[in-house]
Chain A
Amino acid sequence: MNVIWTVLKKECVDNIRDRRTILSSFSLALLGPLAFVAMMTFVLNKALGESDTTVEFTLAGADHAPGLVAYLEGQNTEIEQIDLEPGQDPRVLVTSGAHDLLLVVPEDFAERFENGRSNALALIYDSSELGSAQRRARRVDSLVSTYSRTIGLMRLQLRGVDPSIAQPVSTRTVDVASPAERALMVLTTLPYLILLVAFMGGFYLAIDTTAGEREHGSLEPLLTQPVARSQLVLGKIGATAVFALASLCVFLIAFYFSVPFVPLERIGMSLDVDIVAVLMMLGVMLPLVWFAAALLTVAASFAKSYKEAQTYLSFLILVPTLPVIVAQVSGVEASLPLMMVPSLSQSLLVQDLITSEPITLIEVLISAVSTGVLALGLTWLAILLYRRERILI
Chain B
Amino acid sequence: MISVRGINKHFGEVRAVSDVSFEARDNRVTALLGPNGAGKSTTLRVLSGVLRPDSGTATINGFNVVESPLEVRRSIGVMPHDSGIYTRLTARENIRYFGELQGMTRSRLDERIESLLDHLDMRSFADRRTEGFSQGQKVKVALARALINDPKHVLLDEPTNGLDVMATRSLREIILGLKAAGCCVLFSSHIMQEVANLCDDVVIIAGGSVQFEGSLEGLREKAQTADLEDAFIALAGLEQTT
Residues of A bordering B, CB below 8 Å: 2-3, 6-7, 10, 13-15, 17-18, 216-228, 389, 392-393
Binary CB contact string for chain B from 83 to 97 against chain A (1 if under 8 A, 0 otherwise): 111111100010001
Q: Check B147 for interface membership: any CB of A closer than 8 A.
A: no
Q: Is there contact, CB below 8 Å, between B146 and A221?
A: yes
Nearest residue in A to B82 (C-beta to C-beta)? A217
Which of B49, B52, B82 interacts with A224 by CB under 8 Å? B49
Interchain Cβ contacts under 8 Å between A and B, 25 examples: A10-B86, A10-B93, A10-B97, A14-B86, A14-B88, A216-B82, A216-B86, A216-B87, A217-B81, A217-B82, A217-B84, A218-B86, A221-B78, A221-B84, A221-B145, A224-B48, A224-B49, A225-B98, A225-B101, A226-B69, A226-B71, A226-B74, A389-B50, A389-B52, A393-B11
Q: Check B116 for interface membership: any CB of A closer than 8 A.
A: no
| Contact A6 B50, CB 8 Å, known A13-B89, A218-B86, A221-B79 | no
Q: Check B73 for interface membership: any CB of A closer than 8 A.
A: yes
Residues of chain B contacted by A224 (CB below 8 angstroms)? 48-50, 73, 76, 78, 80
A7 CA to B100 CA, complexed, in Å:
9
Q: Check B102 for interface membership: any CB of A closer than 8 A.
A: yes
Nearest residue in A to B9 (C-beta to C-beta)? A389
Binary CB contact string for chain B from 61 to 74 against chain A (1 if under 8 A, 0 otherwise): 00000000111011
Tally B residues with Cβ within 8 Å of A: 36
| Contact A217 B83, CB 8 Å, known A223-B50, A224-B49, A226-B73 | yes
Nearest residue in A to B50 (C-beta to C-beta)? A223
Which of A15, A18, A221, A226 interacts with B70 by CB under 8 Å? A226
Which of B74, B76, B88, B103 interacts with A3 by CB under 8 Å? B103
Q: Check B195 for interface membership: any CB of A closer than 8 A.
A: no
| Contact A221 B80, CB 8 Å, known A2-B103, A226-B102, A389-B52 | yes
Residues of chain A contacted by B87 (CB below 8 angstroms)? 216
Nearest residue in A to B73 (C-beta to C-beta)? A226
Nearest residue in B to A16 (C-beta to C-beta)? B88
Residues of chain B contacted by A389 (CB below 8 angstroms)? 50-52
B129 to chain A, nearest CB (A): 8
| Contact A227 B84, CB 8 Å, known A220-B50, A392-B50 | no
B86 to chain A, nearest CB (A): 6
Nearest residue in A to B145 (C-beta to C-beta)? A221
